[in-house]
Amino acid sequence: MGVEGIGASVVRKEDRRFITGRGRYVDDIKVMGMTHAYFVRSPHAHAKITSIDVEAAKAMPGVVDVLTGQQIVDDKVGNLICGWAVHSKDGSAMKMGAWPAMAPETVRFVGQAVAVVIAETRNLARDAAEAVEVHYEELPSAHHIAMAIAPGAPQLHPEAPGNIVYDWSIGEEKAVDEAFAKAANVVTFELVNNRLVPNAMEPRAALAEYNEAEEHFTLHTTSQNPHVARLVLSAFYNIAPEHKLRVVAPDVGGGFGSKIFIYPEEMVALWASKKVRRPVKWTGDRNEAFLTDAHGRDHISKAEMAFDADNKILGLRVKTHANFGAYMSLFSSSVPTYLYATLLSGQYNIPAIYAEVIGVYTNTTPVDAYRGAGRPEACYLLERLMETAARQLKVDPAELRRKNFITSFPHQTPVIMAYDIGDFGASLDAALKAIDYAGFPARREKAKSEGKLRGLGFSCYIEACGIAPSKAVGSLGAGVGLWESAEVRVNPVGTIEVLTGSHSHGQGHETTFAQLVAGRLGIPISQVSIVHGDTDKVQFGMGTYGSRSAAVGMSAIFKAMEKVEKKAKKIAAHQLEASEDDIVIENGEFKVTGTDKSIALPMVALAAYTAHNLPDGMEPGLKEGAFYDPTNFTFPAGSYICEIEVDKGTGKSTIIKFVAVDDFGRLINPMIVDGQVHGGLAQGIGQAILEQAIYDDTGQLVTASFMDYAMPRADDVPSFEISHTTTLCPGNPLGVKGCGEAGAIGASAAVINAITDAIGNNKLDMPATPDRVWHAMQAPLQQAAE
Amino acid sequence: MANVQLTVNGKAVSADVEDRTLLVQLLRDHLGLTGTHVGCDTSQCGACIVHIDGRAVKSCTTLVGQVDGANITTIEGISKGDELHPMQAAFRDNHGLQCGYCTPGMIMSAIDIVNRYGADLDEDTVRHELEGNICRCTGYHNIVKSVLDAASRMKLSIAAE
Ligand code: FES
Ligand code: FES
């Protein structure tokens, strides 16, 4: 392992460029002859475009061209696709409306692009965009699930009657009916999972260049998966064949899912760069990010849980309506189905589960994966249900959970997932200890004497990560495989380049991936560099999302390393006149065990490339590649406990302490793992008490700036208390599970359970703003007075 | 158009710019100092913070015309050659950054906080003072740790001088 190998909290290699202002994000890049794009967007939630007049804009200073939706359709640029086919319970295919990159006829959400101005500077493009005259005939619109499914609701797409994309189900309805028939107690609950805006701090951007002589495009873009972007842009949008399109995702300022998808803006930039024969750069502003980055969550659910007389769970029934917005984004269909309902068993032994999910079109921004993607919604529903059950059944919430924990593995749930390993009791115990559960009643009393309400809330989450076994997801409708690739190149002087299909946009792969390689060879991480994010350099790969880069991406590197080491050992054995089986690798040297004979890595590498003295028949060079396809998902799990204090006068909640105990399997770099948890927790807490995308009666997004959408700030969150329990994942060679989403998945239920515990009213939806909490607080007080 | 003269990271700069040019545009587009970022359009996120005559200011809401004659320091101008500013070193050592996008603004803001509070800095003050800087990645935990760590480093380095 060594001081910089797996398990060491080494500081990050990539940090120096960021802390000195030398990061290189898309908008930092300038090329000769570059023009700037600014989009004209719909001010209406639903309208017919009756005319577009671009002449005045074209005459403005510095304007190169103004292009419209009709032109992009005429040029046969493909409509945006949804890459996961989900079928309704009657077997019918999901019902998708067409989504052109710029609207030629009808706009279906505020912010949808209808035209683009290309000009010499961004300011001039923006000025000219004001002069594009678009006339609309407004249509009635539906911006909430309830409005969209009401009888007589405005229709968004002729393809989807009643605005229903699909009516999907999982599990056995009959088994669940039987479970409820013999239940001693039934707990029911209705809840809303609030709509969120991902808000990576770097707005999306694209720089497209067309090289006429080579008929070749280059796209620099803010992407979590540049190869997938290239595949989709070439195979479906007819921009260019793959070998004529290079996609580069340089430094990317956060993603959280929102930069997985291929958006209209990069399609338009590419298409326009060929039309105007000059490079085209588009950089979104924050308002555009709010209006056009795929939003997250937005569910309305009803859930019922059946218990026997001993408080063991017999069955779970869930019905969820999921809002997809106005169009089906790239992976949207999978989020409320295979990433949500398959996790409804949580950490519990539930013999029967039946879940129905109805996907609904509304006149809002498209909704897709946001940190956790489906799994936070599952955890929030289940953990609020468990807390409600504990209160209703008058049992300790920790004990109710413990009683129902899955304790033997592997465990097949009734909803596809087969959990490979875990120890849920261990993380709950550790969390109870960290929060000092026994001391809570005294703390609550003390707070009461000071006029404050104190509450404690639990959340025991599980997630499916390491996405994903290709064959399994293929059988569920995925349009792609979800393996990962790696190539390890040992240079003739012994330094190493690792080319990975994973993409880092804050996760620190340049450090953690180097730790794996350096640790195996016993060399410093400074000798290893990680290359990612450029389709011209790196072999095809699937990118980073779903906490997959350690479990899948690093496993591919592991496999490639095994091949490299095998060949290197052969060379070393040949050079040292020893048997290959006697060679061990230590501190950067290949040693013959039991002797003092050794040869250093650079000499082995040099021998491989000079090829003067290699074993007979061996090819020169030292470079190996591998593709790794996981055999199962991984299942990170943990227990979170939040202690909260509510001010009786204002309804303001203050987090006193937040304890997180996670089982991520083996930790590569504990410092980075903790950082991932911190960030996830802040997003989960943000969802619980601050964040919500709100549409008004006319379909305007009224929370479309940081003045209106409450992002968590430094004084909204506490310092966190984090620890780990460990069961090694048996499914991959490193024993890792993934840590990127856990915080965002587990935190919100813990916070809301704590607030409802404090105020003694379970009727509370996220975000639990002071106003909402204050009103919820009055209800039990009134009841007491009556 | 207007001509402005100012000092940026110790170098004299003279620029002819449109009246509406923002300081962040001058830095990024005209001077190529792309370490200063833009994260919003409502002066809320702090990704654009630079020092104007030693005070942290949001360069996205500052017209170049307002800073004629001023002394500007950006993230590119705070280390001494290869030697990092203690705040930069503290962010690296405490894992105070992930994607790095908010980081230049955080560091410039944090230096100003330490300059103003010196040894009196505690966690609550740091959290309150960072109200104008948004980070979506770190949950602020390690940013706060970094600032407190740097505060003691900066105190030491002042004592040593
Ligand atoms: S860019 Fe200046 S505050 Fe956001
Ligand atoms: S490190 Fe990514 S926004 Fe702060």
The model's pLDDT over A271-310, given as tens digits with 9 standing for 90+, comes to 999 999 999 999 999 999 999 999 999 999 999 999 999 9
Q: What is the pLDDT of residue A550?
A: 81
**pLDDT classification of A1: cutoffs 50, 70, 90:** very low
Check whether the bond before A620 is cis (ω within 30° of 0): no
Looking at the DSSP bridge assignments, the partners of residue A662 are: A638, A724
A/B interface, count of CB pairs below 8 Å = 179
Spell out which residues line ligand 2, taking CB within 6 angstroms. A 201, 253-254, 506; B 97-103, 135-138
Q: At residue A10, what is the residue type?
A: V
Closest CA to B98 of A682, A691, A725: A682
A532-A535-A539-A543 Cα dihedral, nearest 10 degrees? 60
The CA distance from B149 to the nearest CA of chain A, in Å, is: 15
In A524-582, beta strands by DSSP E: 528-531
Query: Is residue A717 scored above 70 in pLDDT?
Result: yes
- Evaluate if pTM is beyond 0.90: yes
Contact list, A682 vs chain B (CB under 8 Å): 138-140
For a pocket test of ligand 2, which of A201, A507, A672 has the largest count of ligand atoms closer than 8 A to its C-beta?
Answer: A201
Q: Which residues contact A153 (CB under 8 A, 6 or more apart)?
A: A142, A147, A162, A163
Q: How many angstroms is it from A639 CA to the middle of ligand 2?
A: 26
Of A187-201, A602-616, B87-101, B143-157, the least confident: B143-157
Q: In this complex, which of B75, B88, B137 lies closest to A679 when CB atoms are compared?
A: B137
pLDDT at A548: 85
Closest ligand to the CA of B57 = 1
List domains and CATH numbers for chain B: 2-77 (3.10.20.30), 86-160 (1.10.150.120)
Strands A245-248 and A280-283: unpaired
Question: A266 CA to middle of ligand 1, Å?
Answer: 24
Specify the domain boundaries for CATH 3.30.365.10 within chain A.
Answer: 374-461+634-777, 483-628
Task: Name the closest-CA residue to atom 3, ligand 1.
Answer: B43
Chain A residues with CB inside 8 Å of B95's CB?
A: 11-12, 671-672, 674-675
Q: Quick check: A714 and B40 CB within 8 A?
A: no
3-class secondary structure, A613: coil
**Cβ contact, residue pair A683, B102, below 8 Å:** no
Tell me the CATH class for A31-139+201-254+259-292. alpha beta
Question: How close does chain A come to B142, measured CA to CA in Å?
Answer: 7
Element (H, E) at A399: helix A397-404
To the nearest whole number, what is the mean pLDDT of chain A? 95
Give the integer Cα–Cα distance in Å for A95 and A91.
Answer: 12
The pLDDT assigned to A481 comes to: 82
For residue B134, the model assigns a pLDDT of 98
Q: Per DSSP, which regions of A103-204 are E strands?
A: 106-107, 113-119, 133-138, 164-171, 185-196
pLDDT digits (tens, 9 = 90+) for B91-147: 999 999 999 999 999 999 999 999 999 878 999 999 999 999 999 999 999 999 999
Report yes or no: A221 and A247 within 8 Å, Cβ to Cβ. Answer: yes
The whole-angstrom separation of Cα A514 and Cα A505 is 16
Q: Which of these CATH numbers, 3.20.20.70, 3.40.50.1820, 1.10.472.10, 3.30.365.10, describes A483-628?
A: 3.30.365.10
Say how far apart CA A356 and CA A337 lie, in whole Å: 9
B43, B45, B51, B55 alpha-carbon torsion, rounded to 10°: 80
| B58/chain A closest Cα distance in angstroms | 15
Nearest residue, CB atoms, A715 vs list B35, B93, B128: B128
Cα–Cα distance for residue pair A344/A18, rounded to 1 Å: 40
Chain A positions in Cβ-Cβ contact with residue B143 (cut-off 8 Å): 714
| Residue ID of nearest Cα to ligand 2 atom 4 | B135
- Can you give the pLDDT at residue A586? 95
Q: Whose CA is nearest to atom 1 of ligand 1?
A: B38
User: What is the per-residue pLDDT for A468?
Assistant: 78
Q: Is there a contact between B92 and A16 if contact means CB atoms under 8 Å apart?
A: yes
Distance CA A85, CA A87 (A): 7
pLDDT for res B119: 75
Q: What is the pLDDT of residues A650-701, one digit of tens each?
A: 999 999 999 999 999 999 999 999 999 999 999 999 999 999 999 999 999 9
Partner residue opposite A678 with nearest CB, options B76, B123, B139: B139
Phi-psi region of B85 (alpha: psi -120 to 50; beta: other; left: phi over 0): beta
Q: Which residues of A10-20 are buried (b: 16+ CB within 10 A; e: fewer)?
A: bbbbbbeebbb
Is residue A532's pLDDT more than 60?
yes
Radius of gyration of chain B from its Cα atoms, rounded to whole angstroms:
16
Q: How confident is the model at residue A738 (pLDDT cuts 50, 70, 90)?
A: very high
From CA A579, how far away is CA A77, in angstroms rounded? Answer: 60
Whether B38 is in the pocket of ligand 1, judged by its Cβ within 6 Å, is: yes
Contact in structure between A362 and A156 (CB atoms under 8 Å) = yes
Strand A623-628, strand A484-490: pairing: antiparallel
What was the pLDDT predicted at A783? 62
User: What does the pLDDT look like over A189-242, one tens digit per residue?
Assistant: 999 999 999 999 999 999 999 999 999 999 999 999 999 999 999 988 988 899
pLDDT for the residue numbered A477: 85
- Report the alpha-carbon distance of residue B8 to residue B33 in Å, rounded: 10
Taking only Cα atoms into account, the Rg of chain A, rounded to an integer number of angstroms, comes to 28
Question: For residue A2, what pLDDT is reported?
Answer: 53
* Distance in Å, alpha carbon of A543 to nearest chain B alpha carbon: 16
End-to-end CA distance of chain B: 44
pLDDT at A782: 64
- What CATH number has the domain spanning A374-461+634-777? 3.30.365.10
Assign A42 a pLDDT band (cuts: 50, 70, 90): very high
B60 lines ligand 1 (CB under 6 A): yes
- With CA atoms as reference, the chain B residue closest to A714 would be B127
With an 8 Å Cβ cutoff, is B44 touching chain A? Answer: yes
Chain B residues with beta carbon closer than 8 angstroms to that of A679: 98, 136-139
Residue ranges, comma separated, of all CATH 3.90.1170.50 domains in chain A are 31-139+201-254+259-292
Q: pLDDT category, A784, cuts 50, 70, 90?
A: low
Averaged pLDDT for residues A441-456: 96
> Considering chain A, what percentage of its residues have pLDDT values greater than 70?
99
Which ligand is closest in space to the CA of residue A255?
2
pLDDT at residue A735, rounded to an integer: 92
pLDDT at A414: 97
Taking the mean position of all CA atoms in its chain, how far away is CA A206? 21
Distance CA A109, CA A634 (A): 37
